[in-house]
Amino acid sequence: METPVPLEDHVFSIDINVPRRRVWDAILKTGAIQRFMMNTVLESTLEPGARMLYYSPNRKYVFVVGEVLEVIPERKFSHTYMFTTQSEAPSIVTWEFEDIPAGCRVTLTHSGWTTQVKTHKDVGGGWRMILDALKSELETGKIPLKMRLTYGLMGATAFMLPRSARAEGMEK
Amino acid sequence: MIEELQQDDLEPVWRALSNPIRRRMLDFLREGPRTTGDLTDRFPDHSRFAVMQHLGVLEEGGLIVVRRRGRERFNFLNPVPIQQIYDRWVSKYQQPWAAGLTALKTDLESRTRDATEAADRDPDQSTTQT
């Protein structure tokens, strides 16, 4: 008997050749552009229960809203996750960090799916690219050309986003 | 220098992908996480021991992530190394495309600037244009 279930967890993992602390700092950086995270700006106090917003660089749009669930420094960071462009229930993103001889292994689990079919289908490619970009940025200081182009295009087409993604009135 | 480093990083991935059964196992895991028992059922021509060994190689290559849920061991496909191979190898041969995209990006950005300026003047109109 097989045990497939629709809307299973997504798991992504990558080894990064820098100390764990640097990977942690990159993912929890607030108030400045996170290049690897599709050029978004995270705003949050990062305390459990606090709201999180991932803004466009010009702060006119918010792509993702969430709530901090758990913060164990340099070990685990977990939060809810909801696209502003889709009216689906929040899911859960968990980052885990562990030491490996070469540096740090970071594993991202996107779980808590119930009926968020569209989001479930959409996030895979994004996370793959984000983790790959994270590794490049931390190890070489650069984001690969192809990703820069993709991210650039996404930024350039932001004006097509629905009204629900507008930042105005969201900062409450 | 950096490229050499990345190539070394990807060595276990190539090794894991070099075997047809392991590639079929990955295809199977694309449908969703599976227990080791599911995999041995799916590949009855291979002993449980052989399946476990293949899983070990896949795990070493970072192509699967193992999670335990109760007594069961679930194998999740990790697509990130394949993305890395894609970025490392395929994108290289897409330079003409990249050039084309750069032009498109420049074009779109200049349009966006116009659109943003328009939006600043009249916020309601910007959401209806495409």
Instruction: Please state the domain extents for chain A.
Output: 10-28+72-158
Question: Are B11 and B67 in a shared domain?
Answer: yes
Question: Are B28 and B44 in a shared domain?
Answer: yes
Distance from CA of A172 to the nearest CA of B (A): 21
Mean pLDDT computed over A120-148: 89
Q: B127 lies in a domain?
A: no
Q: Which residues does chain A have within 8 Å of residue B33's beta carbon, measured at their own beta carbons?
A: 8-9, 11
Q: What is the pLDDT of residue A61?
A: 92
**Rounded CA separation B130/A162 (Å):** 11
Question: Are B91 and B112 in a shared domain?
Answer: yes
Question: What digits encode the pLDDT tens for the residues A9-39?
Answer: 999 999 999 999 999 999 999 999 999 999 9
Mean pLDDT computed over A124-128: 88
Q: What is the pLDDT of residue A160?
A: 81
Question: Are B95 and B70 in a shared domain?
Answer: no
Q: B103 lies in a domain?
A: yes
Question: Are B48 and B10 in a shared domain?
Answer: yes
B83 touches chain A (CB under 8 A): yes
| Rg (chain A; Cα; Å) | 16
Closest partner residue to B38 (CB to CB) among A3, A146, A153 is A3
Residues of A with CB under 8 A from a CB of B: 1-5, 8-15, 17, 60, 107, 124, 128-129, 131-132, 135, 139-140, 144-147, 149, 152-153, 155-160, 162-163
Name the residue with tokens 């490049």.
A136
Reported as a pLDDT band with limits 50, 70 and 90, residue A148 is: confident
Distance from CA of B108 to the nearest CA of A (A): 6
Mutate to test the interface with A, among B78, B82, B122, B124 (most CBs of A within 10 A): B78
Question: Are B87 and B74 in a shared domain?
Answer: no
Question: Are B101 and B46 in a shared domain?
Answer: no
Question: Are B68 and B93 in a shared domain?
Answer: no
**A10-28+72-158 is a CATH 3.30.530.20 domain:** yes
Question: Are B33 and B72 in a shared domain?
Answer: yes
Q: What is the pLDDT of residue B93?
A: 65
Q: What is the pLDDT of residue B117?
A: 64
Mutate to test the interface with A, among B63, B68, B83 (most CBs of A within 10 A): B83
**Rounded CA separation A120/B55 (Å):** 26
Q: B129 lies in a domain?
A: no
Q: What is the pLDDT of residue B122?
A: 58
For all residues of chain A together, what is the average pLDDT? Answer: 90
Give the domain range for residue B104: 83-121
Question: Are B65 and B18 in a shared domain?
Answer: yes
The yes-or-no verdict on residue A64 having pLDDT over 60 is yes
More confident residue, B69 or A54: A54
Reported as a pLDDT band with limits 50, 70 and 90, residue B121 is: low
Q: Which one-letter amino acid corresponds to residue A102?
A: A
Which residue, among A94, A85, A152, has the nearest Cα to A122 in the 3D structure?
Answer: A85
Q: How many domains does chain B have?
A: 2
Distance from CA of B50 to the nearest CA of A (A): 19
Closest partner residue to B2 (CB to CB) among A9, A140, A156 is A140
In contact, A18 and A138? CB cutoff 8 Å = yes
Q: Which one-letter amino acid corresponds to residue B2?
A: I
For all residues of chain B together, what is the average pLDDT? Answer: 80
Reported as a pLDDT band with limits 50, 70 and 90, residue A156 is: confident
What is the separation of C-alpha B49 from the centre of its chain, rounded to a whole number of angstroms? 28
Closest partner residue to A3 (CB to CB) among B34, B98, B130 is B34
Mean pLDDT computed over B15-23: 95
Q: What is the pLDDT of residue B44?
A: 95
Q: Do B101 and A149 touch (CB under 8 A)?
A: yes
The yes-or-no verdict on residue A47 having pLDDT over 90 is yes
Q: Which residues does chain A have within 8 Å of residue B9's beta carbon, measured at their own beta carbons?
A: 15, 17
Question: Are B68 and B90 in a shared domain?
Answer: no
The yes-or-no verdict on residue A157 having pLDDT over 60 is yes
Distance from CA of B125 to the nearest CA of A (A): 11
Question: What digits encode the pLDDT tens for the residues B23-56?
Answer: 999 999 998 999 999 999 999 999 999 999 999 9
> Does the pTM exceed 0.80?
no
Which string of DSSP letters, residue by residue, matches chain A? -----SSPPEEEEEEESS-HHHHHHHHT--SSEETTTTTEEEE---STT-EEEEE-TTSSBEEEEEEEEEEETTTEEEEEEEETTS----EEEEEEEEEETTEEEEEEEEE--SS-HHHHHHHHHHHHHHHHHHHHHHHHS---HHHHHHHHHHHHTGGGS-GGGB-TT---
Q: What is the pLDDT of residue B69?
A: 85
Mean pLDDT computed over A110-122: 89
Q: Do A157 and B108 touch (CB under 8 A)?
A: yes
Question: What digits encode the pLDDT tens for the residues B58-117?
Answer: 999 999 999 988 889 999 999 999 888 887 777 666 666 656 666 666 677 777 666 666
In Å, what is the CA distance from B42 to each residue of A1, B13, B31, B45, B53? 9, 23, 13, 9, 15
The yes-or-no verdict on residue A169 having pLDDT over 80 is no
Q: Do B127 and A152 touch (CB under 8 A)?
A: no
Mean pLDDT computed over A118-143: 91
Question: Are B59 and B112 in a shared domain?
Answer: no
Q: What is the pLDDT of residue B1?
A: 43
ipTM surpassing 0.90: no
Q: What is the pLDDT of residue A150?
A: 82
Which string of DSSP letters, residue by residue, matches B23-78? HHHHHHHTTS-EEHHHHHHH-TTS-HHHHHHHHHHHHHTTSEEEEEETTEEEEEE-
Q: B130 lies in a domain?
A: no
Q: What is the pLDDT of residue B119?
A: 64
